[in-house]
Amino acid sequence: MLKLRRISTFDTFRSALFLIFMDEILSLVGVSPDTWDYAKSYLTIVSLGGPFVLISNCYSNVIRAEGRSSQAMMEQIIGNLLNVVLDPIMILGFGWNIAGAAIATVIGNAVGALYYVLYFQPHQAASQHRL
């Protein structure tokens, strides 16, 4: 039985680790001094939105295991299209640059997570998972 609370707790811990060790992580992956501030800004925002990413990924795999891959694909399409639409609006329209790209990514993932939470209402899911 999947528990949304467990997923959120784990991801909150993971996000905290990301934020605490961000400089080490950026160094490890080879971020150059020219892009350091951009990478740090993007990673900070995306790591704070991490619970949405984890919820989307976990529940997507559960839905695929139920044999409903088209439902899992639908969420991916919705979240990615929303991200593609919001990117130019937030980057160019609002002038938020890299932070706008990160916020658009988080919003796309949040909508995807909401899709899965609604999908797993007891009357819809084949395996009747409880959130």
Q: How many whole angstroms from its chain centre is CA 1? A: 22
pLDDT of 1 = 40
User: Taking 90 as the threshold, does the pLDDT of residue 56 lie above it?
Assistant: no
For the chain, the average pLDDT equals 86
**pLDDT tens digits for 68-124?**
888 888 888 999 999 999 999 999 999 999 999 999 999 999 999 898 888 877 655
Q: What is the pTM of this model?
A: 0.80
Residues 6+ apart with CB under 8 A from 116: 55, 56, 59, 60, 63, 75
